[in-house]
Structure 1
Amino acid sequence: MRHTNRQMVTVAMLVAVFLVAIDVTVVSTAMPHIVRELHGLSLYSWVFAIYTLTTSVTTPIYGKLADLFGRKVIFSIGVILFVLGSALSGASQNMTELVWFRAFQGIGAGAVMPITFTIIGDLFPGEQRARMQGLFSSVWGVAGLLGPLVGGLFVDHVSWRWIFYINVPVGAVSFVLVLLFLHEKFERHAKSIDYLGAAVFTVGVSALLYALLNGGSQYAWDSGTIIGLFVAAAVFLAGFVWIERVAKEPMLPLSLFSNPVIAVSNMIGFLSSFVLIGANVYLPMWIQTILGHSATSSGLTLMPMSIAWPLGSTFAGRFMYRVGAKRTTVIGAILVACATLWLLAVALHSPYWFFVGIMVVMGLGMGYVTTPTTVMIQSAVPWQMRGAATGSNQFSRSLGQTIGVTVFGALFNAGVQDYATRHANGLAGLSSSRLTGILNQLSGGGSATGLSAGLKAFVDQMLAHALHHIFITMFGIGLLTLVVSWFLPSHQKVMEQQKQVA
């Protein structure tokens, strides 16, 4: 990219990443207040689910569009859509409007993340690119730390609407910097856009994610609705594969997945994100309900990971070209597996520092895994395919979290019901309606305080039983991540391929 001001464009990318990264934590903090004002508790989860769905679906599409039309144009469109969706979300008059506007916001977010990392991949060569990954990971850490604080300040002292409105001036800064300082030079010729592939992919993935997000909650897994959605997803995704094989400019080139660097790296991203969502969702539950800490304290359980992740990413970026990209990734996978192994040792009376240590080890592991795989993916393809390759990696991570939260939710519910069925009769005075009320209280984020000593002990045992099912599964996925990482090509082969596509 000739005549591009790398420093200013990097600042623009950092602002854009921060904009998207802080959104989830800020909205999570403000949602209880938003629900009280707008009503519609039944739509609570959809404020997050619809954003995840539209982001996941559009991420690989934007990646390919960035290859066809340039990073600058598509990134700018994504920022505009995200900012517009934010402004509309802030102006919502009811929960239904908020859900629809969050969907619109997610469509914009689907462009920001993959194209940001694609632009960084264009601006910096291999070793510098690895170091930049550490810098950008630190943005996620800062966002994780500041999100609850910023959200709380806006809710308590201004208005919850400003958690969305603030995105407008911040997004404008990123947009203007890119407009002024990013100058691309690539051949402009007639484009053959894979409209059919994009449409079929959108329908197929939307059906899959909708089924995963609603199965076991809104609808039973064996209901006609969920079965129909899975069938539709299978049909449309199979059709998408066929379309991509014959399309002149496929939206998601299937040749990407024949590249072992990309195929294995995407699988690692999927599996590690699977583990990550389990830690993010269920460790705070143990802290708050079993150990009896406050909601703030349980939320702060995630803070060590927000600090350790960028540290691990920085170390990995500095050393991956010295010790090898594969070896660095394997070290990260070992750390992730060790963190999940430590989870198996958690018991009812385990101290708080156990969880802090687990999150530190997992954060370091995620940093060591994410940086080299992202850099390797971008180095394995030429400029014309870098956007699609980066988009495929971001999509793999999103899909891992979506499927992970669904699987873990099903395991948790099954574990609770199993324990309750086998032990509830032994606790005098516990009716089924009372048990249902306690479970609803806990699933809604409430605590177990105010229960009698015997009932509190029963609830703790029940939750520990259910959560250990999740921890065992996380350990299995952690081990699988380690096994898959061994299938990465050697560092020498990665470097040879990097030279070929440079």
Structure 2
Amino acid sequence: MDGGSARLLDRAHRLTTSGLVLLVTFVAFEAMAVGTAMPTAVAELHGLAWYAWPFSAFLVAQVVGMVVGGDLGDRRGARVALPWGVAAFAAGLLVAGLAGNMAVFVAGRAVQGFGGGVISVVLYVVAGQAYAPRLRPRLFGAISAAWVLPALVGPVVAGLLTTHASWRWVFLGLLPLIALSLGLVLPAVRALPATGSGLKSSAARRWWALLAGVGIAGLQYAGQRRDLLALAIAVAGVAALLAGLRPLLPAGTGRAARGLPAVVACRGLLAGAFFGMDALLPLTLTEVHGLSPTAVGIPLTAGAVGWAAASHLQGRFPSVARERLLRAGFALLALGLAGTALAAVPALGGWPAYGTWAIAGLGMGLGMPALGVLLLDLSPEHRRGADSAALQIADVTSSALCIGLAGVLVAAATAGALSLPAAVLVSIAVFTLLALVGVRLSGRAGARVPQPGAAEGATTLSAS
């Protein structure tokens, strides 16, 4: 074990590091498994035309959960926010696993997403509180590396369960592991000093988050209607989305202004491009090529392993400018996405995705930890909950929009408006373009400039 790893696991950090990594590991099992099981689940529940909604419901609810998690993290500390987040996540697993129709299944995914949003923000709060800046690249590398075991076995286990038992066990089987993860991480969180401000918050930011989520859902629903009413719904959806996001994100995020706004904008581009295709890939391999759930899980595993490997690699070079790693990550993601277009060609059997999605994963492994470090470098301690929430909100909003776009195209293919391979190719073209935009904008994320507008665009949670 090298010196950097020993510092992460020394006496002062051992309990906290172990708790964070274990929590991420168990939650990662669900994240890796659900994509493999989803085509079978929606088919059994007679909801193929609504394939994107379980993903979108999870992500939309995450936006609200992130605001709530940032609120609790800033006001009362991680010791309060974390148990609530894990409990909601577990409740969502239970509802989704027992669902008898598509509506209940989507509702369960929404509850699960709310809990996941709380958890994701609390992890950043703990990282900023418990670790010095020089240890943070290592920490984010270790957290990303916690996806290795789930990446190796999660999709395969999910495929085997779906094939030989039921897709429901992909959700229900995780409940004991989630309970175990809470029992392991809670002592570590309680050992941290109480730093919450204790100030009273208002519900304003939560309502803005809900409004943004309604906007995302409206846009997706409008895209699936394809009639005159759809235009009015789409306009209302755009208005709701923009109105909801404006108070939640740093001023200048839309134009990727230098510093913190660019970090948040790049996170949205990176996540949207990757997760849009990550959700679409299993359906492509299942419907276009007829692959089994077990075989469908293999490229997802390759992508996650690439992600974890690159995350570990970037942690070994803390002196390298994070914006350079971010640019390299976007470039690899664009390359992987473009190559994955071959998976939409029926004659090729889908096998190219087994290699190309690993390249996309390498890009995520460089880009995601770099953005986490840049956020903590630019965010003062009293705002880390709010700024972490803004980062995560950009992530899930962009992911939901990209997955929604793919869902609209899949619905159009289901209705006979175009072929499924064509729908996949159009989606990939959009996602690749987003990654290329990220290559161009990544240099702005490293600028160390004051962010006076951030206080206006993403007001501190304690004051909101």
State the TM bucket, normalised to the shorter chain: 0.7 to 0.9
Per the TM alignment, residue 46 of structure 1 is displaced from its structure 2 partner at its CA by 3.7
Q: Is the 8 A contact 2:19 2:188 kept in 1?
A: no
Per the TM alignment, residue 464 of structure 1 is displaced from its structure 2 partner at its CA by 5.1
Which residue does 2:400 correspond to in 1? 402
Is 1:222–2:230 an aligned residue pair? yes
Q: Is the 8 A contact 2:37 2:293 kept in 1?
A: no
Which residue does 1:333 correspond to in 2? 330
Q: Is the 8 A contact 1:268 1:485 kept in 2?
A: yes
- Aligned to 1:305, which of 303, 306, 311? 303
Per the TM alignment, residue 368 of structure 1 is displaced from its structure 2 partner at its CA by 0.9
Deviations 1:172-197 (A, max 9, x none): 22322333233232456651313223
- Please list, as runs of the form range in 1=range in 2, the aligned pairs for 1:263-412 lying within 5 A after superposition: 263-284=261-282, 287=285, 294=292, 296-319=294-317, 321-342=318-339, 348=345, 354-410=352-408
- Aligned to 1:194, which of 191, 202, 213? 202
Counterpart code for 1:193: S
Measured in 2, the distance between the counterparts of 1:283 and 1:188 equals 42
Measured in 2, the distance between the counterparts of 1:152 and 1:219 equals 34
Per the TM alignment, residue 288 of structure 1 is displaced from its structure 2 partner at its CA by 5.3
- Relative to structure 1, is the Cα distance of residues 104 and 386 closer, same or farther in structure 2, using a 3 angstrom cutoff? same
- Please list, as runs of the form range in 1=range in 2, the aligned pairs for 1:101-180 lying within 5 A after superposition: 101-155=108-162, 161-180=168-187
Structure showing greater relative contact order (alpha-carbon pairs closer than 8 Å, 6 or more residues apart): 2
Per the TM alignment, residue 111 of structure 1 is displaced from its structure 2 partner at its CA by 0.7
Measured in 1, the distance between the counterparts of 2:160 and 2:381 equals 43
Tell me the matched-pair count: 435
- Relative to structure 1, is the Cα distance of residues 334 and 164 closer, same or farther in structure 2, using a 3 angstrom cutoff? closer
Identity of aligned residues (%): 25
Counterpart code for 2:16: V
Match of 1:204, SS state, is helix
Which residue does 2:454 correspond to in 1? none
Per the TM alignment, residue 480 of structure 1 is displaced from its structure 2 partner at its CA by 0.7
Measured in 1, the distance between the counterparts of 2:198 and 2:143 equals 35
Which protein is bigger by CA-based radius of gyration? Answer: 1
- Relative to structure 1, is the Cα distance of residues 42 and 355 closer, same or farther in structure 2, using a 3 angstrom cutoff? closer
Measured in 2, the distance between the counterparts of 1:412 and 1:33 equals 16
- Relative to structure 1, is the Cα distance of residues 192 and 280 closer, same or farther in structure 2, using a 3 angstrom cutoff? same
Measured in 1, the distance between the counterparts of 2:99 and 2:287 equals 33
Measured in 1, the distance between the counterparts of 2:100 and 2:337 equals 43
Per the TM alignment, residue 132 of structure 1 is displaced from its structure 2 partner at its CA by 2.1
Per the TM alignment, residue 476 of structure 1 is displaced from its structure 2 partner at its CA by 2.2
Measured in 1, the distance between the counterparts of 2:275 and 2:339 equals 17
Which residue does 1:431 correspond to in 2? none
Measured in 1, the distance between the counterparts of 2:349 and 2:108 equals 42
Measured in 1, the distance between the counterparts of 2:51 and 2:423 equals 24
- Please list, as runs of the form range in 1=range in 2, the aligned pairs for 1:62-77 lying within 5 A after superposition: 62-77=69-84
Counterpart code for 1:108: G
Q: Is the 8 A contact 2:97 2:172 kept in 1?
A: yes
Which residue does 2:439 correspond to in 1? 482
Counterpart code for 1:194: S
Per the TM alignment, residue 55 of structure 1 is displaced from its structure 2 partner at its CA by 1.4
Per the TM alignment, residue 73 of structure 1 is displaced from its structure 2 partner at its CA by 0.9
Which residue does 1:86 correspond to in 2? 93
Measured in 2, the distance between the counterparts of 1:209 and 1:405 equals 11
Measured in 2, the distance between the counterparts of 1:180 and 1:306 equals 29
Q: Is the 8 A contact 1:4 1:181 kept in 2?
A: no
Per the TM alignment, residue 137 of structure 1 is displaced from its structure 2 partner at its CA by 1.5
- Relative to structure 1, is the Cα distance of residues 357 and 388 closer, same or farther in structure 2, using a 3 angstrom cutoff? same
Is 1:473–2:438 an aligned residue pair? no
Q: Is the 8 A contact 1:15 1:170 kept in 2?
A: no
Per the TM alignment, residue 393 of structure 1 is displaced from its structure 2 partner at its CA by 1.3
Deviations 1:73-131 (A, max 9, x none): 11111112222333344444554444333322222111112212331332222232212
Deviations 1:389-440 (A, max 9, x none): 22211221111211112334556777x7xxxxxxxxxxxxxxxxxxx78x59
Counterpart code for 2:330: A
Q: What TM-score do you get using the length of structure 2 for normalisation? A: 0.79
- Relative to structure 1, is the Cα distance of residues 406 and 154 closer, same or farther in structure 2, using a 3 angstrom cutoff? closer
CA root-mean-square deviation:
3.7
- Aligned to 1:10, which of 2, 17, 20? 17
Gaps of 5+ in 1: 242-251, 417-435, 441-458, 495-502
Per the TM alignment, residue 205 of structure 1 is displaced from its structure 2 partner at its CA by 0.9
Q: What TM-score do you get using the length of structure 1 for normalisation? A: 0.74
Gaps of 5+ in 2: 1-9, 450-464
Deviations 1:290-338 (A, max 9, x none): 666555434423332111111111111211x222222222222222233
Instruction: Choose 253-262 or 273-282, whichever is displaced more.
Output: 253-262
Instruction: Choose 226-235 or 116-125, whichever is displaced more.
Output: 226-235
Per the TM alignment, residue 283 of structure 1 is displaced from its structure 2 partner at its CA by 4.7
Per the TM alignment, residue 345 of structure 1 is displaced from its structure 2 partner at its CA by 7.9
